[in-house]
Amino acid sequence: MRNRPVAVFDSGIGGLTYLPSAMALLPDTPFVYVADHANFPYGATDPDLLRDRVASLVRRIIDRESPCAVLVACNTASVVALADLRSRFSIPFVGVVPAVKPAASLSRNRRIGVLATTRTVEERYLADLVAQFAGHCSVTTVAAGELVTLVENHLGEPPADAAEAVLAPAVQRLRDAAVDTVVLGCTHFIYLLDELRERFGPSVEVVDSREGVARRLAAVVGSAAPGGVVKAHRFYSTAAGTRGLSRLAARFALADEGIL
């Protein structure tokens, strides 16, 4: 696996939020990030169609970059397509799934909220996670797919008034359910982590899966220093026309390589 990159993909910029934790644990490993803007968003896509689109994307990534592993940095793609990807390709895959297990451990009143996309909320995978790890809890799911588009369109920094219009009803539904722990079940939502924590207040824990995913990825890839010179971290999109991506990529130590 030495000198081969780890490939990371999402429908857009959401999965970038997982890179700092992963890079910290794998400092000698190059990373390649692909934002699948040609198929954005994933959250309401038919499952069969999404599996085919994701498999096609992964094939292109493998052909271009020959990665040692792939991080599916999208909850929707993970719950819908991860098993299919593992059956199609021989390289290791690490998925991102809602942090239901740690939330169940943190919850004091056994009331958990999951904020996610429509597809993640509706998939059987989430129901199975809840049954396996949070069967003793009351779990309220809220689909907020419009928040994904808002975050994407503003490169992670949506205007406060626009964010308020989307966040307020979602937060209120979870408050009405008296949850004390909220799971961010979409990578895009992490851009608004501070705002969400402020809205819920100190009595509510807001959790995501970044640290756990980074540890799993490090275990899969290994942390041995590679031989030779490590390539620069790189960023691709699958569609042209999104302004500001180069600056955003640079914030995550990625060089913009254009279109995949």
Active site residue 137: no
Dihedral angle, C-alpha 188, 181, 163, 16, nearest 10 °: -20
Active site residue 74: yes
Helix (H) or strand (E) holding 147: helix 145-153
Catalytic residue (one of 8, 58, 74, 171): 74
Q: How many CB atoms lie under 10 A from the CB of residue 149?
A: 16
Catalytic residue (one of 186, 196, 206, 245): 186
β-bridge partners, 161: none
Angle between helices 75-88 and 124-133 (to 10 degrees): 100
Amino acid at 79: V
Extract the tokens encoding 46. Answer: 């038919």
Q: How many CB atoms lie under 10 A from the CB of residue 56?
A: 12
What is the C-alpha separation between 260 and 64, in angstroms, rounded?
8
CB 97, CB 34: distance < 8 Å = no
Cis peptide before 41, with omega less than 30 degrees from 0?
A: yes
Q: How many CB atoms lie under 10 A from the CB of residue 153?
A: 12
- Exposure of 189 in the CB half-sphere (CA atoms within 13 A): 30
Pairing of strands 31-35, 69-72: unpaired
| DSSP sequence for 45-73 | S-HHHHHHHHHHHHHHHHHHH--SEEEE-
Which residues are known catalytic residues?
74, 186
